[in-house]
Chains A and B, each alone.
Chain A
Amino acid sequence: MKLKLISICAYLLVFFSSCDTKKDFEEETKKYFIKYYGEDGDQEAVDMVVNGDTVMILVNTTTPGNSQRILLIKTDLDGNVLRQNKLGNGKDSQGRAISEIAQDIEPTADGNYLVLSNMYRGIDAATNEDLYDFKVIKINANGDSIGGMEFGNNDGKWTTQYIHSITPLSDGGFVVTGNSTDETIAVDPGLPPPDQEDMFSIGFKNDFKTIAWTTLELGTPIGTTGEHFGSGIKVFEASSNRYIIFSYSDRQLLGATDFESNFEVMTFSGNGIPLGFADNSGKETSDEILASVAKVPSILGGGYYEFGTSIPLNASSNVGQLYFCKRYDDLSKKNEGTVSSVSGQFTAVSVTPCVVSEGYLLIANEKTTAGTTIRLIKTNLDSEEVWSVNMGSFDKTSKGACAVELPDGRILVLGTIELETQDKVGLMKVNAQGEFL
């Protein structure tokens, strides 16, 4: 009896002495994470580039008592910081104090990066409008500055300009596009309401000198009126002498009787001469505001994917439904519409094609009762929602920046997370279903 009792106890002891160890979990827990980056004050996530096993994150940082600066954070795919450094010194080339607002980072063909920022110079006393110049900094893979340029007022012709994106060119130059509240840049539509913005694109040689600029408010030359508001969003280099610019504006379409915003696509030559418009996309009952455009890899059928917000006309806020337009390589439309099955009030942020899971990753900010959360949506190639998840606290204002599908199918999401007392840059790694698993 005693022996039997001891045997049972020994067996149970062996069973219960089996314990969980670090080895059981370490690899699994590396597969997903949420990491915050920052320093004193508030930081805002802007953009990221995943290049092999490193991630270059572009951040706006505002520390107490200092103006806004550009912060560059280099991490590995596990979110560990490899390097962190600030770009710029808070002054422009003329020694004037500025706030630097990071806007875009893009890899170049020579293994470096171009960092675009808008430099806030203050308020125009005459018009009460914000005044911006822009700066491009070329950095190497370590994040060190290796060149750059500043653009101010187009030789005194413009009072301000705000750049939305930068596109490195195959010859080492680049193109930027954006808009300006200086309505003198282009002709007005001549019809109410008053003109508010003018749109433009500027090309630069590889020595960072201007080669051409073009306005998108062409109006009469192409048989339409001009626009009251709008902006160039992204330029793609179709060939060395043909560029495609994606934008939105309230240009009055042929046959239409009112002004409402739509997605626009235009091509122009290497020296900035407009070549013509493709079909616009959008609804007549709402303003479609383009937020992001992605070149679709040929493995997914090629072409371009436009993503933006569809806001009902006369709405008091800038939120609405998510709107897309898929175009072929020749810019003709494959399909367009609201992203199906996604309900809520959103502001579109970015789109990224997914090669592994075949579809698109959409990032939008969803309006909540007290703020916004980041909505990550996975769609199939027909823009039908496959799944969607939110990130961020319901009562806070978190904003998405972009998402990238990694070669293993996992997803990196970059956003600004409003914690209890501060804004920080959040890098989230989730599985192919958007889960922290």
Chain B
Amino acid sequence: MVKSLSCCFLIFSLTLLGYIPASAQDECELTLSRAVEEFNAGHHYGIPSMLGPCLEKNQNKEWRQRAYLLLAETYLLLEDPFGAEKSYLEVLRANPEFLTDEKRDPIDLVYLSSKFTSTSIFTLSARVGPNVSFVRTLVDRGTYSDDVKKSNILKPGFQVGVGVDWNYDDHLSVMLEGNFVFSAYRQRVTGMFGRDELSVFDRQTWVRLPIAVKYSASKGQYRPYGYIGFSWDLLLGDRATIQYKDQNYNPETERVESIDRESPILKFKSKRNAFNHSIFIGGGVKYKVKLDYIFADLRYSFGMTNLVNDKNSIYDYKNQTDGTSEGFQDSGDGAFRWAHIDDLFRMDNLFISVGYIHPLYKPRKLKKAHSRSVLRSIKKQGDEIKVD
């Protein structure tokens, strides 16, 4: 049994070595080659001491992977399970995505590997991208008394964010993000006083803290994923610009003449509710780049709260206590100078993001080994030998 395992491993090792460009000058590469020869010759006891000095020199990851793999197999043959486990752990540290192969690797190494994992517990990510906002009116309001036509126009915004995923297993994770979002929309009202037009361009800045449950594919170059979650949305600022077209028919010239004006930036933060929440669904695909990923993500967020502070939407009663002061009156300029009062509304957002994912791999021994399939394989191999 031991001989057959050794034979397999020799073939594996040579295969690995074949991928590496030989360098006569590389002393450690030669040392590793000699160690493999010693292993193949059945001289296992000297191998740890042969490789020890080179391992201390902190060789490159690929070399360390091969060396520790040889050591793990050596310790298995020397019936030193502690040494084997320690060496295999180092294999995973050198290459967190190393996986044994029952067809390629000795079965005892495969069995040993089933006691370990290097799946990342936490995954870091960063994202950036554009968004658009959809206004969903709850209560239609306005200063107009005519039959007007209202329309909301999509305006682009953008978002940047960072996130961390806590990976429950290879597929399921909990995602927490911190996003800075700049969103915007434009509302146009036509038909005021017969033919006047009013257009409000409203921009919001947010800090959003989404938390979601995510399901991801764990294999392949392209790994799709999907998620659902909710978000705490803190409105940091809201600025609006109002354009007004005062259009009047002049019977002398027999045409409609327009006086166009644009307001300065009006601060609407006090007219908004700062604390909001939303739920969202989304998905995307991750593309593997070495040990990390780049991704593209599409998310739709359903605003669940009315953004407009209906207790403060005309004058700023929160910050201006004197109802006759200039500051108080200025806070009402949206309504009293530009004839605009916000509808009560919720706001949905569609986010498109691209980003980068960096898994924080943590090679570790499992509390409960995934060895059942390996044992079945060993049993199957034993049965085949008996038949032979």
A interface residues (Cβ-Cβ under 8 A, vs B): 1-2, 5, 9, 12-13, 16-22, 24-26, 28-29, 32-41, 63-66, 75, 79-81, 344, 366, 368, 373, 375, 387-396, 398, 417, 419-422, 424, 426, 434-437
Q: Compute how far the CA of A71 lies from the CA of B26 in the bound complex, rounded to whole angstroms.
A: 100
Of listed A2, A19, A75, A434, residue having the most chain B CB within 10 A: A19
**CB-nearest residue of chain B relative to A41?**
B248
Q: Which residues of chain B are within 8 angstroms of A392 by Cβ–Cβ distance?
A: 329, 336
A-contact bits for B314-358, CB 8 A (1 contact / 0 none):
110100000110101110110111110100101000000000000
A-contact bits for B241-259, CB 8 A (1 contact / 0 none):
0001011111110000101
**Contact: B261 with A421, CB < 8 Å?**
yes
Q: Compute how far the CA of A41 lies from the CA of B256 in the bound complex, rounded to whole angstroms.
A: 12
Q: How far is the CB of B182 from chain A (nearest CB, A)?
A: 23
B interface residues (Cβ-Cβ under 8 A, vs A): 138-139, 141, 143-146, 168, 172, 174, 192-195, 211, 213, 228, 230, 244, 246-252, 257, 259, 261, 263, 277-279, 302, 304-306, 310-311, 313-315, 317, 323-324, 326, 328-330, 332-333, 335-339, 341, 344, 346
**Contact: B329 with A40, CB < 8 Å?**
no
Q: A40-B195, A388-B324, A436-B315 are in contact. Are A393 and B346 (CB under 8 A)?
A: no
* Among candidates B213, B263, B305, B315, residue contacting A435 with C-beta atoms closer than 8 Å: B315
| CB-CB nearest 9 A-B residue pairs | A16-B230, A389-B323, A19-B304, A393-B337, A421-B246, A436-B314, A65-B251, A20-B306, A40-B248
**CB-nearest residue of chain A relative to B325?**
A390
**Contact: B251 with A66, CB < 8 Å?**
yes
* Among candidates A19, A394, A436, A437, residue contacting B346 with C-beta atoms closer than 8 Å: A19
**Contact: A387 with B326, CB < 8 Å?**
no
**CB-nearest residue of chain B relative to A15?**
B230
**Contact: A25 with B139, CB < 8 Å?**
yes
**CB-nearest residue of chain A relative to B256?**
A40
Q: Compute how far the CA of A396 lies from the CA of B141 in the bound complex, rounded to whole angstroms.
A: 24
* Among candidates A34, A65, A390, residue contacting B143 with C-beta atoms closer than 8 Å: A34
* Among candidates A28, A34, A37, A398, residue contacting B310 with C-beta atoms closer than 8 Å: A28
**Contact: A419 with B314, CB < 8 Å?**
no
Q: Which residues of chain B are within 8 angstroms of A33 by Cβ–Cβ distance?
A: 141
**Contact: A19 with B305, CB < 8 Å?**
yes
**Contact: B336 with A393, CB < 8 Å?**
yes
Q: A21-B138, A420-B261 are in contact. Are A35 and B143 (CB under 8 A)?
A: yes
**Contact: A435 with B317, CB < 8 Å?**
yes
Q: Compute how far the CA of A80 lies from the CA of B148 in the bound complex, rounded to whole angstroms.
A: 13
Q: Compute how far the CA of A242 lies from the CA of B330 in the bound complex, rounded to whole angstroms.
A: 49
Of listed A32, A390, A391, residue having the most chain B CB within 10 A: A390
* Among candidates A16, A394, A420, residue contacting B326 with C-beta atoms closer than 8 Å: A394
Q: Which residues of chain B are within 8 angstroms of A28 by Cβ–Cβ distance?
A: 310
Q: A5-B168, A34-B314 are in contact. Are A20 and B335 (CB under 8 A)?
A: no
7 further A-B contacts with Cβ under 8 Å, apart from A24-B138, A394-B329, are A9-B174, A9-B213, A17-B304, A21-B138, A22-B138, A64-B252, A391-B336
Q: Compute how far the CA of A64 lies from the CA of B246 in the bound complex, rounded to whole angstroms.
A: 12
Q: Which residues of chain B are within 8 angstroms of A26 by Cβ–Cβ distance?
A: 139
Q: A35-B145, A390-B328 are in contact. Are A13 and B139 (CB under 8 A)?
A: no
Q: Which residues of chain B are within 8 angstroms of A75 by Cβ–Cβ distance?
A: 145
**CB-nearest residue of chain A relative to B262?**
A420
**Contact: A25 with B306, CB < 8 Å?**
yes
**Contact: B250 with A16, CB < 8 Å?**
no
**Contact: A24 with B306, CB < 8 Å?**
yes
Q: Compute how far the CA of A388 lies from the CA of B324 in the bound complex, rounded to whole angstroms.
A: 7
Q: Which residues of chain A are within 8 angstroms of B174 by Cβ–Cβ distance?
A: 5, 9
* Among candidates A39, A344, A435, residue contacting B324 with C-beta atoms closer than 8 Å: A344
Number of A-B residue pairs at CB separation under 8 A: 152
Complex A-B: 18 CB contacts under 8 Å: A9-B174, A16-B279, A17-B230, A17-B279, A22-B138, A22-B139, A25-B139, A25-B344, A28-B310, A36-B145, A38-B193, A40-B193, A373-B329, A390-B329, A417-B336, A419-B339, A421-B261, A424-B339
Q: Compute how far the CA of A426 lies from the CA of B195 in the bound complex, rounded to whole angstroms.
A: 18
Q: Compute how far the CA of A388 lies from the CA of B322 in the bound complex, rounded to whole angstroms.
A: 9
**Contact: A421 with B329, CB < 8 Å?**
no
Q: How far is the CB of B318 from chain A (nearest CB, A)?
A: 12
Q: How far is the CB of A301 from chain B (nearest CB, A)?
A: 28
Q: Compute how far the CA of A406 lies from the CA of B324 in the bound complex, rounded to whole angstroms.
A: 23
Q: A390-B323, A421-B244 are in contact. Are A16 and B277 (CB under 8 A)?
A: yes
Q: Which residues of chain A are within 8 angstroms of B145 by Cβ–Cβ distance?
A: 35-37, 75, 79-81
Q: Which residues of chain B are within 8 angstroms of A394 by Cβ–Cβ distance?
A: 326, 329-330
Q: Compute how far the CA of A419 lies from the CA of B263 in the bound complex, rounded to whole angstroms.
A: 11
Of listed A22, A375, A394, residue having the most chain B CB within 10 A: A394
Q: How far is the CB of B257 from chain A (nearest CB, A)?
A: 8
**CB-nearest residue of chain B relative to A36?**
B143
**CB-nearest residue of chain B relative to A398?**
B336
Q: How far is the CB of B165 from chain A (nearest CB, A)?
A: 14
Of listed A33, A39, A40, A79, residue having the most chain B CB within 10 A: A40
* Among candidates A29, A41, A417, residue contacting B141 with C-beta atoms closer than 8 Å: A29
Of listed B172, B228, B263, B310, residue having the most chain A CB within 10 A: B310
* Among candidates A19, A24, A34, A63, residue contacting B335 with C-beta atoms closer than 8 Å: A34
Q: Which residues of chain A are within 8 angstroms of B138 by Cβ–Cβ distance?
A: 20-22, 24-25
**Contact: A25 with B310, CB < 8 Å?**
yes
Q: Compute how far the CA of A13 lies from the CA of B263 in the bound complex, rounded to whole angstroms.
A: 41
Q: Compute how far the CA of A392 lies from the CA of B338 in the bound complex, rounded to whole angstroms.
A: 11
**CB-nearest residue of chain A relative to B211?**
A12
**Contact: B193 with A65, CB < 8 Å?**
no
Q: Which residues of chain B are within 8 angstroms of A437 by Cβ–Cβ distance?
A: 311, 317
**Contact: A20 with B168, CB < 8 Å?**
no
Q: How far is the CB of A13 from chain B (nearest CB, A)?
A: 6
Q: Compute how far the CA of A86 lies from the CA of B287 in the bound complex, rounded to whole angstroms.
A: 71
Q: Which residues of chain B are within 8 angstroms of A5 by Cβ–Cβ distance?
A: 168, 174, 213
Q: Compute how far the CA of A388 lies from the CA of B328 in the bound complex, rounded to whole angstroms.
A: 12
**CB-nearest residue of chain A relative to B251?**
A65
**CB-nearest residue of chain B relative to A421?**
B246
Q: Which residues of chain B are within 8 angstroms of A421 by Cβ–Cβ distance?
A: 244, 246, 259, 261
Q: How far is the CB of B268 from chain A (nearest CB, A)?
A: 15
Q: Compute how far the CA of A65 lies from the CA of B254 in the bound complex, rounded to whole angstroms.
A: 10
**CB-nearest residue of chain B relative to A389?**
B323
* Among candidates A387, A420, A426, residue contacting B323 with C-beta atoms closer than 8 Å: A387
**Contact: A39 with B332, CB < 8 Å?**
no
Q: A80-B145, A393-B333 are in contact. Are A13 and B230 (CB under 8 A)?
A: yes
Q: Compute how far the CA of A2 lies from the CA of B171 in the bound complex, rounded to whole angstroms.
A: 12
Q: Compute how far the CA of A66 lies from the CA of B344 in the bound complex, rounded to whole angstroms.
A: 39
Q: Which residues of chain B are within 8 angstroms of A65 by Cβ–Cβ distance?
A: 250-252
* Among candidates A20, A32, A393, A435, residue contacting B329 with C-beta atoms closer than 8 Å: A393
Q: Which residues of chain B are within 8 angstroms of A18 by Cβ–Cβ distance?
A: 304
Q: Compute how far the CA of A29 lies from the CA of B137 in the bound complex, rounded to whole angstroms.
A: 14
Q: Which residues of chain A are within 8 angstroms of B330 by Cβ–Cβ distance?
A: 393-394
Q: Which residues of chain A are within 8 angstroms of B338 by Cβ–Cβ distance?
A: 419-420
Q: Compute how far the CA of A422 lies from the CA of B339 in the bound complex, rounded to whole angstroms.
A: 11
**CB-nearest residue of chain B relative to A22?**
B138
